[in-house]
Structure 1
Amino acid sequence: MYAWDPLLHFVSAVVGQPVYRSADPLRAMTVHVHYGGDEQDRHFDVSEYTIVLHLLAPEEGGVLEYVPRSRSSVEQDEEALRGIVEGKHQQLTRALPTVPGTLVLHSGHSSLHRVTPVHGTTPRISATLSYNSAPDGRLNEYTRQLYFGRKR
């Protein structure tokens, strides 16, 4: 699916500019499995655009929460970040439950987001596909080591 050109053209059409698959073999497409108690803390993606394809939903939780176009505000205002983390700005936060078969295209690079804790015996399983506006997008060695346990 990630190598399928019509999907690449679709992403480009939706975001309004040409996009490229990641040049980094470790982050191009990843599969995430979240078991009971697992979550993904708030973060920004390295890639500009991300497709999340939900494959399996947990009994509870595993919700993708995001604050649209929030990067510049939280990088410039520590209070804004603290308010989001503490739940004081719920009106800014959007939530997308995990529904198998759902394809979510979002700008994780510019939108602070997380996956809420998963509950139950069924894991949350999703595939993440990374895209950038430049053809040579790669992770730095630190990030590669942090997430994949290796630098290459």
Structure 2
Amino acid sequence: MKFEDVINLKSNQITDPTYIKKCKETLERNGAIVIDNFITPQALEQIKLEGAAKKHLAFFTNQQHNIYISDADPSYPEDHIRNKRVISSKGCITDDQISAESVLRTLYDSDVFRSFLKVVLNEQALYSYDDECSSINLHYASEGQELGWHFDNSSFATTLMIQKPEAGGEFQYVRDVREADKGEMNFSDAERVLAGDITPNMLEIEPGALVLFRGRNAIHRVTPTIGDTTRMMVVLAYNNKPGVALSASARKTFYGK
């Protein structure tokens, strides 16, 4: 499939400066932007079919982690928010399992798409990961699987919703809980989020939507999937520096290889 047949260019004029400016302003204002019907129905169907055909290849994990996705800090008690454990469970197929002819690869490798992202995300350049696993990931969340509350280590995330579950699987977030670059962790508000004392925002994401999200200082989660329909979501991972690769131990942890 050609690039022109992947993105719904009539609705999403990603080379038009006015459209790009509007997207950038929305992301800067809200910390997130959901662009509905970003890919065409034909492209969405092809990705869904590839995802269904390759689900048996997915590496499934059920992990406990703290909200910072980091090692525990022994200077705090085990039940302190710095060390408190949450659960994430999902399946994933990796870049090396995405076919060379995949719609996802056409989109990910497109200079036009990458130029659009670069401006909206306010990045000087965007590069693929320098390993065989990380650039394109297709995630699966079956009944009961979820992503626990956490902060991202990267400054932005780029995702595509492919298939919604019957219920659950909601993307919830609370903005500006911490200021990571200044070392301001704001443990009290993070504790309140996990306790349910702060009502999170929710993104309404339909299949075919592109989502850009700044999760470094916004705590977020995906609630457990309900029903027999698997939630399928693609992560299109870029770096603002060349030559970045996950370590062998990280690849083993996240991808099982």
Do the structures match in fold with TM over 0.5?
Answer: yes
Aligned to 2:110: 4
Aligned to 1:85: 194
Identity between Structure 1 and Structure 2 (%): 30
Paired AA for residue 154 in structure 2: S
Higher RCO (CA 8 Å, separation ≥ 6 residues) = 1
What are the residue-to-residue correspondences of 1:33-52 with 2, within 5 Å? 33-52=140-159
Give the aligned length: 148
How far apart are the structure 2 equivalents of 1:71 and 1:95?
A: 19
Partner-residue secondary structure (3-state), 2:246: coil
After superposition, the Cα gap between the structure-2 partners of 1:142 and 1:69, relative to the gap in structure 1 and judged at 3 Å, is farther
How far apart are the structure 1 equivalents of 2:210 and 2:244?
A: 22
Cα displacement (A) at 1:75 = 5.6
Q: Which has the larger share of helix? A: 2
Partner-residue secondary structure (3-state), 2:117: helix
After superposition, the Cα gap between the structure-2 partners of 1:140 and 1:83, relative to the gap in structure 1 and judged at 3 Å, is farther
Paired AA for residue 194 in structure 2: V
What are the residue-to-residue correspondences of 1:45-124 with 2, within 5 Å? 45-72=152-179, 76-90=185-199, 93-124=200-231
How far apart are the structure 2 equivalents of 1:53 and 1:70?
A: 25
The one of 20, 26, 31 equivalent to 2:138 is 31
Q: Which has the larger share of strand? A: 1
120-129 vs 140-149, greater mean Cα deviation: 140-149
How far apart are the structure 2 equivalents of 1:66 and 1:111?
A: 6
Partner-residue secondary structure (3-state), 1:2: helix
How far apart are the structure 1 equivalents of 2:240 and 2:176?
A: 17
Paired AA for residue 55 in structure 1: I
Partner-residue secondary structure (3-state), 2:237: strand
How far apart are the structure 2 equivalents of 1:9 and 1:109?
A: 22
Deviations 1:12-41 (A, max 9, x none): 111122231332332211001101111011
Aligned to 2:7: none
Aligned-residue RMSD, C-alpha: 2.1
Structure 2: stretches of 5+ with no match in the other structure: 1-106
TM-score normalised by L of structure 2: 0.52
After superposition, the Cα gap between the structure-2 partners of 1:14 and 1:142, relative to the gap in structure 1 and judged at 3 Å, is same
How far apart are the structure 1 equivalents of 2:248 and 2:175?
A: 28
After superposition, the Cα gap between the structure-2 partners of 1:25 and 1:49, relative to the gap in structure 1 and judged at 3 Å, is farther
7-16 vs 65-74, greater mean Cα deviation: 65-74
Deviations 1:102-128 (A, max 9, x none): 110112333222111110111110101
TM-score normalised by L of structure 1: 0.85
Structure 1: stretches of 5+ with no match in the other structure: none
Cα displacement (A) at 1:131 = 2.1
How far apart are the structure 1 equivalents of 2:247 and 2:177?
A: 23
Q: Give the number of the structure whose alpha-carbon radius of gyration is greater.
A: 2
